[in-house]
Amino acid sequence: MADANEVVLGYVICADAGEGQRIADVLVREKLAACVNILTGVHSVFSWQGEVQHADEVLLLCKTTRAKIPAFEKKVKSLHSHDVPCVCFYPAMHVGAEYERWLRDFLAVT
């Protein structure tokens, strides 16, 4: 069974830097993520409504815990401009002890 306190990486694609910044600010302010990296210059190729689409987008790389996933995803969907936002999570294979302690303290995880 998965550990609810396991550190995970959230992967969120945003329409532009402004949207990414707004979502990142809320996620950190509401303690749904301890840190969000905003990576610009992402070019996405995807299928939408039967057509191949291209878009310049922004990637949010978010550090949080497995227990925060439901509230995190709900918040992102409420703030996001896309009909079907990309919100994915991946387990962190290793997290440095000091960073993990800081993350858990910030998110109030024991």
Predicted pLDDT at 3: 84
pLDDT confidence of residue 20: 98
- In a domain, residue 77? The reply is yes
Number of domains the chain is built from: 1
Residue 72 confidence class, pLDDT cut points 50, 70, 90: very high
Residue 1 lies in a domain: no
Domain membership of residue 45 as a residue range: 7-107
Q: What is the DSSP string of 24-73?
A: HHHHHHTTS-SEEEEEEEEEEEEEETTEEEEEEEEEEEEEEEGGGHHHHH
**pLDDT for 5:** 87
Q: Does residue 73 sit within a domain? A: yes
**What does the alpha-carbon distance between residue 62 and residue 60 come to, in Å, rounded to a whole number?**
6
When pLDDT is averaged across residues 13-42 and rounded to a whole number, the result is 98
CA distances from 73 to 20, 27, 94 (A): 14, 10, 23
**Residue 82: CATH number of its domain:** 3.30.70.120
Q: What is the DSSP letter of 5?
A: T
Q: Considering the domain boundaries, does residue 86 fall inside one?
A: yes
- Structure pTM? 0.93
